[in-house]
Structure formats: C-alpha cells, structure tokens
Structure 1
C-alpha cells in the first residue's frame, strides 16, 4: 500500500510541526527567525522524544483518498512495496545559518533528496538575484540574509516550481493534519506504520500564483522545520500540481519518478525534468532544438523554450549525452549542474550574460555545492576568448591536458574552448 511507503515518515511524529511561539509573520521584516535547524537523524538513531504539538490547518482543502494514494505510489515507484528511506523521512528545506556568507544556501541532502534540494536551490538564487524587486544584482544580495528573508525566498521558489508544473494555471499544496490517534513517544525498531496517515493529508489548490505563494509562506515551517518531512510534502504537492493524469501521460507506461535499489531511493531524469521544466518527460533533458534568444518567457518551459533555470551535465564515462540547448541557455544565468552524478548549482549575477554577446567574453560565475565543508561561495572567472584549450585539442580525453575538474568541463559544454580560473581556490568537483 502507498501509505506503507511512509513508514519512516512518521518517525518524528506530526509531519507539519507547529509554527514557533507567537511572533511577527514569517514574511515580515520583524520576524526573528527559527534559528538554525539541525540536521535530522535517521529514525531510531536518537532517544525517544515527544511528538510536536499538532499544527492547526486553515479551513478548506480536501483529503486524499486511498485510491488516489495507490495511484501516487505507482507513479513514484511502479512498485507497491517500495519505501522511502530514513534520509527521505528526515529531509527538509533547511538553510545554512542566517547572516552568514552562505545564508542563501540550503543544506545538501543525502541520497536521492539532493536532486530536489538542488533544484529548489537554483530557484531560490533566481528569486534573490533576478525576480524580486531590485535595482542591481551582485553576490552580496545572497549573503547575510535574515531568517524571514530565507523563508520568503523558499516560499517563492516552491511556488514557482509548483506553478510551472501546473502549466501556469494552477498549484496544489499538500499539508498534514494532526494525528487522529493518540501520539506515540517512541519509534518502534521495526518502523512506524501510519495506519491513519491517509486521513491526515489535505490538499489545497490555487488558481493564482500569488495566493499559492502566500499560503506556502504562511505555512513555511511545514517545509523547512526539523522533522517536517518537507521534501516529501513538496514532492506530493508537485505531482498534484501537475495532476496525476498529466504526470502519467508524461511518463508513459513504464518510467517511474523514483528509483529504489538496495534501500536507496533516487530521483530519475523524469523527476529532474519535472522540477526544471514543469513536465515529467523521461528524456526531456536532452535533444531539444536551439532556442531563439528571448523566446519562452512563460512559467512553464515548452519544448525548445528557455525556462528560468538551466541544466548542465558532465560525466567522465563515455557516451556523454548532450543537454538540450534550451536548458544550456536559460532565461537567467542559473544552472543546476550534474557533475559525475552529484547535483550542485552554478550561477552568474549579470542578468545580461545570456542576452548580449559582449557579456560572454570574460565574465564571473559562482558555484554552490551545498556541501557542509563549503564555507564560502566559489568564485570563477571564465574567459571565452582564450586559446589555451586549442593547444590540447588533439589530445585524447584521458591525456593530462584533458584531465580537468568536472565543473570546468560542464562550463565548456556551454562555452566551448573557454578557460576557467578558480581565483585562488583549490579546484573541486
């Protein structure tokens, strides 16, 4: 049963923890923030703890039926027995500490949740640099954010992704009510079976993007709080925004959204495509025609259109598949990067970078890996008119001249022949 796949989800009690003690609204400058949420642990790895106070949901919304739950399970796994692992149950949209150099950055997840977190990270950067009211764009706009600004950026990124999945006409948000049975204070060793979980999910639907964003902002703790299981809630919201029928049409008869193997659950290309383009196409990240500059300014990216966030990929294994030009050339200079299978974000701060050829001669890019060991945003200088690369053009892919960091190779998939300076930082990725 679908609800059995959420055995680990209830490990910390109520999925939507309550808002903190009375304080100014989350989106207001007077909000003091929730502090720095710690990394969640796997169920059973910590002493028993009390279940958080139940969240009082707003009126409205509708429950999810058992039949719909089974359809959702099939779309996710194509397997009625597959379960989410503990890293999925613990995953939420948790920022680095406020007021710091990486206050704009989400903490990288483990396993399959990393793809979702990195995709939302790209939308957060796009919002902070380019789509919120601003007269200038520079790296400092991402640094030293206050807690209420972090929540505002997360709500905008989640709403943008859900709205694109809804085709620019609808969005759905899943929240979870309080348990209908008496709360349990300890997690049993064999896992937590949520027999009442189906009665607790409620689906809220919106026909205006601003209303969806405001609703998410009002309930942002359901996505970023420790123990909120915010990544799973957002994944469900994403599918209901697209509608299960349209997701099925996107996937066809065989492709799943998640791949479960040896207890690990990872995102497939179809889910990554849904996060970036609003469509769950199994092969949607490659093979598109070159877009015309300035084309595609809707919320959802049609085939060949430029969406707000791009995608770059580099694999050292032979048979590297070319990424769609529409994704290599997004509307804003922000790219989700897959580097030897690891997801991260590359971005520029010049909004003219992809619209004026003079801006592409020598320019600055920034890199956020999301890893805990990264304490500062990496700064790279890209020179597209250098000829150093041509000197090694006749060398094989495994020759010393071609052994470059994966990030540099991904950049060259967008700007062939470019040289990349790490400005004193030891190259990584």
Structure 2
C-alpha cells in the first residue's frame, strides 16, 4: 500500500508542476495514460502537508522572485545544499570497540535503556552468523521511534531499520574504504534519534566530539532524516561525493513522517542487501509519477474523491476505416479537418462569480455542442444534484459539483445517443494509432483516439468520471464528445436519421447543424424540429418523409427561424420536461432557463416568471435575469416599449415563439441586440 501512496503523491507533485506551468495538453495526455484514482492528492494544502513543505513554502513566498510549484521549491533547496552540509570524520575507525556508544548532540535526551535488540529475534535472521547477530544487537533505537537511523562509520553508509528488523541502506560519503567494507560493516553505531520536529531539524547545532573516530554530527543525523523523508527541510547541502549516490534513496522514500517528526516505515520487508556501491547509479533518481491540473491555490483537482470501481473495459484503437466514416458524416469528406476553433474548445467552466455554472466558449463554431451540454449541466445542477432551495446557492457551485454535473450530463447525452442500450466514449491517447494512407487528410486528432463501449449507464458514468478532465480541460474536449455521440449512434444510423443522406453534422464556417444539436438533445440526428414525422407529396404518388422529434425531450429549443416562419418548433421541444431551452438566434446557440421546475408543469405560473440567460461566447460578467409577463399582466408602458418590432431584441422574439405576445423586462440589464 505504501508504494502505491508514494506513487500517488509523486504523481500529484508532477501534476501540480504541470498545472502551475499551464501545460494542459501534457496533463491531458498524462491523464489518458495514467489516470487518477481515488487515492490521488487533490489539494495543494494536503500535498504540502504530506511532503512537510509548509515552512519552505512560506519562505519561498517571501522571496523576491518565488517559484510557483512545489517541485521547483524542492529542486531549488537540493541544488543550494552543496556548500552548507558539514560531515566530520575522525582518525581510525577501528580505535574503539563495537560496544562504545557515540555521543550526538541531537537535542533529544538519550536514555541508557534505549539500547535493545531489534533483529536477532526475527525469524528472518535465525540462520545468520553470530557476528551478524552481534551487529544487530549493537544497534539502538529511540523508544518513541518506529524507525532508527544508523551510520556505518568505515564506509559512511546510512542504515535504516524498521521494527520488523529489516534494513535498507544509503550511501553517504566517499568509497575509499570499500576494500574493508566486509569487516567494518559490523561496527554500526546509532546516529541518534531523528529530531522530534521539523522545526528542531532546522536548527543547526555543533557536533560534540568524543575520543573516537566513530563520530557523526548533528548535521549527519538531520541530513539522513531529511533524505529519508524524501525532501530537504534544512539549509544544509550534501557533499559533492554524494553525486551519483542519491538514487539509492528511492528505497527510503516510502515512509510517512508522524506528528513527532519520526520516520515511519511501511509494512514492506527490506532484505539486507549487498552494500557495495553501484558505479552506474545516476546522479539523481526520480521516481515515475503522474497527476492533474487545477488553477486555484488550494485545489489540485476538483473531481470528487469517491471510490471508483475498476472496470475491465476493452479499448478499441481508431483505424482509418472508422476515421474515414466519421469524417464523412461530420464534414462530408475524409479530406476535411476540424478547425482551430473546434480543436481548442473544451468544456471549461467560468470563474466569474455568479456564473461558475457556465461553460466558456473561446470562439465561434461549436456553439451548438456547447449550448446542448450547458443545458444538460443545468438540468443536473438545478433539479437533480442540488438540495438547496436558494437559487444563489444552486448557481454559485463548487468546482467539485460542477465537474460532477458535467460528467453526468455527458453520460445522459451519450446514453440517449446509444438508444438507452449501449454507449461509446472516445478517449485521447496522445499518440498516433495509425498512419493515414490514400485519400485521407490527417488532422492529428482522430488518429490519436481510442474508444470504449459499455452496456450500462452506471458503467458509462464511471468511465466519464474517470476521464472527465479530457472533456473539461483537455485540448479536444468538444471534439471528443462529438465523436463519442456519433460512435454511440453509429455513422450509418445517423445517416438514416437525416432527411438527406448527404447532410453533415458540421456545416459551413465550422457551425453546428441542426442534426448535431438534435443528436445531443434527443439522441437522434434528425433534420427537423417539429413533432414526429411529416410526409410531403412529391408528385406521381411519391412521398418524401421528413423526420422530426418523436418524444418530449428533457431540454427544449426555441428558434428565431420560427419567428420568421422558416420552421416550426413542435411541442416536444418547445415544452420540455425541464424549464431549460437551447436558443437558436442568428446562427448562434445559447441557453435560457428557469430555476423553478413548476414552469414546466404548471401553466398558471406563466403569468409572470423569471428566465435566466447564458451565452458562453458573450463574456458575461454577471447573470442576466429576464422577467416575462403575459400580455394580460404587462403594463401599458411596457407594451408600448415593444411596439416597434425593429427594436425588439432577437432573444425576445425567440421567447415570444413560446409565450406569444409576452412582454420581457431586462431588469436594468442592457438588452442584447
């Protein structure tokens, strides 16, 4: 277990560094190859506490040019150590007998009865020679410590011994005495208990010499404790001879410091290994590590740390045949590619107070996908995941809750597209899975996708919670959802949904077509917004079947095209199950919603009610609240203000396609024209 914890903390440290550097693409690739688990450290304060970096962190913030990441702070301290550590050596190491105890000024009183046999009673060493047992009996352990630190003076190695009686070693100084190592290794002398607190370990104390060459200074003890802890808490530096040796410390990093500052060993049994130095050791050994990204000060990742069962899912790598079929249905040609607006768009939320529920759109193009997802997130947020009656509390959401709502909204969208039977999730691997040949233009996206198919909504939710960062903050979040929805419905079925088989999901200038919006809202890529189907007589007894919306949807749609009699929005979209509408106005999609669910069920509420408007592309700085009055409730002055249709904002015209002759008050907000 401890090894796994070390991996998670190391991963968190790297993710915190990548987050501070803004390397979101790297984080997305890392998430794909080594996903987070419920053991991941998701809070910067927690990470600092686990690594005991609070003091260094405060010192760094006081610097004129402080470093931003904890990894940089650790590296800076390590690099600045070299000229400060002092390790004292005295005379012949064989001048005193094995039983002599050295005197160390550690600031912690040593009791005479601290000496005890740690290893000789262990069954692990029952077959060892008497000399080896004598060695183990000579070790001493602090009574409050679960791990003791020892020096082997002749070879200047550091041994750490757990209560279980197993040793691990660390090279400390030069290797000149290696030739006598076998005889001198039995002269292990206790270096003294580790300082009882990190504060004490920061205080430098002079070494107290004894008339023996077997002397270790306080700095020795502190340095050994700090290296064992996996980080430096002192201002001292190891000597140059430590270069090439420190990679051996990877065996010592798997421990946690208790509240007294002592190093605790995990339940890992360390065997007594050959202590001969390895000339091939690198100057610095860095453990493999991985994690995520979040920009605020305290939170590393806002995904809820819930227990997530592991799914044994088969990942299918993208091949050129599937990629070609996807491009045909999206663009109409395998030679077309996603625009930069699509490539750079994901489902990142706003940090504006009062609008933290809102997904930010970078540039025009994928607004239809963003509006559909935004509406589904609001459904989860307002009516399914929140228990508060206060609108302000429901809309001023936490990072954890909005990410949770996003993953569940995506699950609903894909489950509908899979006809409530199966669903497929596209995942970015960060590396190309096939080399395009023939008539196919690579765009560096489809070639890197692998996808998984699940048979239940619960499994789908788990997969999306595991990979939600790819959608929320990855470079291709919007594209991944679009591809996932197509794979759920399958390209062949989508083609049969459309009135014209040659229709596409992305039209001119990179705009979403109505087919793509309908696929996300109702699970079918039909070309129309009226109810059910419509037959058109094309002459000679032939009919053209036009397909519409078959059932009442969770999310509705209002269109400015209906105001101009270009289309007719049916009741399945105009009167949805939840009072949330995607608004199509002048080639742009945005969202209207009412916080009261009664509006979708009680027509008496339609006399006067509030609607909130959100446009991810508008760079809103505050919520926009509209009050809608029925014609009978509107004052004469309000009605007279709306007599000139040329001055009526398009959004009001969209609202009137559902609430005919309604009067809209913008409540001191400038109308959007």
- What whole-Å deviation, never above 9, does each CA across 1:59-116 have from its counterpart, x for those lacking one? 6211232212211111111122212111111111111127x21110000242221111
Aligned pair partner of 1:274 in 519, 524, 530:
519
Gaps of 5+ in 1: 1-11, 38-56, 182-191, 290-301
State how far apart, in whole Å, the 1-side matches of 2:44 and 2:580 are.
Answer: 29
Instruction: Note if contact 1:164-1:278 (Cα within 8 Å) is conserved in structure 2.
Output: yes
State how far apart, in whole Å, the 2-side matches of 1:311 and 1:206 are.
Answer: 29
- What whole-Å deviation, never above 9, does each CA across 1:345-386 have from its counterpart, x for those lacking one? 000011111211221111111111123531111111111143
Instruction: Note if contact 1:386-1:417 (Cα within 8 Å) is conserved in structure 2.
Output: no
Aligned pair partner of 1:17 in 26, 29, 41:
29
1:125 positional shift: 0.5
Instruction: Note if contact 2:532-2:551 (Cα within 8 Å) is conserved in structure 1.
Output: no
The aligned runs of 1:342-353 (5 Å cut-off) are: 342-353=588-599
State how far apart, in whole Å, the 2-side matches of 1:330 and 1:27 are.
Answer: 40
Gaps of 5+ in 2: 1-23, 46-291, 297-310, 434-440, 534-547
* Counterpart check, 1:312 vs 2:561: no
Instruction: Note if contact 2:562-2:657 (Cα within 8 Å) is conserved in structure 1.
Output: no
Q: Which structure would you say has the larger Rg?
A: 2
1:206 positional shift: 1.2
Q: 1:390 to 1:67 in 2, by over 3 A?
A: farther
- What whole-Å deviation, never above 9, does each CA across 1:26-60 have from its counterpart, x for those lacking one? 999979994359xxxxxxxxxxxxxxxxxxx9862
State how far apart, in whole Å, the 2-side matches of 1:286 and 1:335 are.
Answer: 15
Aligned pair partner of 1:84 in 332, 338, 350:
338
- SS of the residue corresponding to residue 365 of structure 1 reads strand
Equivalences, count? 368
Instruction: Note if contact 2:29-2:428 (Cα within 8 Å) is conserved in structure 1.
Output: no
1:282 positional shift: 1.4
Aligned pair partner of 1:232 in 452, 471, 479:
479
The aligned runs of 1:325-336 (5 Å cut-off) are: 325-336=571-582
Scaled by the length of structure 2, the TM-score of the pair is 0.50
Aligned pair partner of 1:127 in 363, 367, 380:
380
Instruction: Please name the residue that 2:493 is paired with.
Output: 246
- SS of the residue corresponding to residue 257 of structure 1 reads coil
Q: 1:109 to 1:160 in 2, by over 3 A?
A: farther
Q: 1:195 to 1:287 in 2, by over 3 A?
A: closer
- SS of the residue corresponding to residue 245 of structure 1 reads helix
State how far apart, in whole Å, the 2-side matches of 1:311 and 1:28 are.
Answer: 41
- What whole-Å deviation, never above 9, does each CA across 1:13-35 have from its counterpart, x for those lacking one? 67943349998849999799943
The aligned runs of 1:397-416 (5 Å cut-off) are: 400-401=644-645, 403-416=647-660
Q: 1:30 to 1:195 in 2, by over 3 A?
A: closer
* Counterpart check, 1:219 vs 2:471: no
Q: 1:321 to 1:26 in 2, by over 3 A?
A: farther
Q: 1:389 to 1:241 in 2, by over 3 A?
A: farther
* Counterpart check, 1:117 vs 2:338: no
State how far apart, in whole Å, the 2-side matches of 1:323 and 1:166 are.
Answer: 24
Of 204-213 and 328-337, more deviation after overlay is shown by 204-213
- SS of the residue corresponding to residue 343 of structure 2 reads helix
The aligned runs of 1:120-159 (5 Å cut-off) are: 120-132=373-385, 134=387, 136=389, 138-143=391-396, 145-159=397-411
1:146 positional shift: 2.2
Aligned pair partner of 2:294 in 27, 30, 35:
35
Q: 1:310 to 1:137 in 2, by over 3 A?
A: farther
- SS of the residue corresponding to residue 414 of structure 1 reads coil
State how far apart, in whole Å, the 2-side matches of 1:29 and 1:142 are.
Answer: 23
State how far apart, in whole Å, the 2-side matches of 1:359 and 1:352 are.
Answer: 7
1:324 positional shift: 1.7
1:305 positional shift: 2.1
State how far apart, in whole Å, the 2-side matches of 1:150 and 1:27 are.
Answer: 19
Instruction: Please name the residue that 2:218 is paired with.
Output: none
State how far apart, in whole Å, the 2-side matches of 1:127 and 1:166 are.
Answer: 20
Scaled by the length of structure 1, the TM-score of the pair is 0.76
